[in-house]
Amino acid sequence: MFDAGWCADPKNGSAACILDGDTFDLVGCDRTLDDSGDDDRVRLLGIQAPEIAHGSDAADCYGDEATEFLSRLLQGRTLRLEFDEECYGYYNRTLAWVFISGEADDPLREELEMYEEIGMNEDGSFDVLVNELMVRAGYARIYEAEEEGRYYDRLQQAELQAAHSDQGLWAACDG
């Protein structure tokens, strides 16, 4: 049974295809709906990463970097998806808070130390909210249309830290 107010129970999955800095597919790079109507395309809740190039539209500043960073974070890992009040957003994508975990010897641990040891446990293992890390590392901003949510306060703090320390897009992009 899921938490009161949340649209679904947490579930585990893995990223099969990273589409951009805030969207990935669980199954493959072709968008599919399973028999129950659930979509396999996931958008990270509460954040907006710069867009990558689409057709004749050029990429936004830091769009390619955000996509690469998300790919490095998610590829080959088991993901824990948590939900909020709404399970689906625009384009019928699943909206999720995405967590990754690792042990003390995980190569990502060293990188997390650069961001005030975000998600680190006392034993050196970690449990990181990817949405928060994307903002803290300067690969995304808070998505203003989703200012409510169970982890919004964490996103606000992450954005303040990223802007203050000129992380990622805060140093590389105008506005």
Which pLDDT tens digit goes with each residue over 111-166?
A: 899 998 899 999 999 999 999 999 999 999 999 877 778 999 999 999 999 999 99
Token code pair at residue 74: 């998610």
In the block, which residue shows the tokens 């999720």?
Answer: 96
Predicted TM-score (pTM) of the model is 0.92
Contacts of 8 (CB under 8 A, 6+ apart): 2, 83, 87
User: CA 116, CA 80: separation in Å to the nearest integer?
Assistant: 22
With respect to residue 42, please indicate whether it lies within any of the assigned structural domains: yes
CATH code of 69's domain: 2.40.50.90
With respect to residue 128, please indicate whether it lies within any of the assigned structural domains: yes
How much of the chain, in percent, has pLDDT values that exceed 70?
A: 91
| Positive or negative torsion for Cα 147, 51, 136, 96 | positive
Total count of domains within the chain? 1
Using the predicted structure, report yes or no on whether residue 33 has a pLDDT greater than 70: no
Average the pLDDT over each of 18-22, 48-52, 63-67, 87-91 and give the range with the smallest value: 87-91
User: CA 83, CA 7: separation in Å to the nearest integer?
Assistant: 6
With respect to residue 124, please indicate whether it lies within any of the assigned structural domains: yes
Which pLDDT tens digit goes with each residue over 9-23?
A: 999 999 999 999 999
Provide the domain limits for residue 149. 11-172
In the block, which residue shows the tokens 């992009």?
Answer: 173
Query: For residue 92, which amino acid is it?
Result: N
With respect to residue 2, please indicate whether it lies within any of the assigned structural domains: no
Residue 53, helix vs strand vs coil: coil
With respect to residue 103, please indicate whether it lies within any of the assigned structural domains: yes
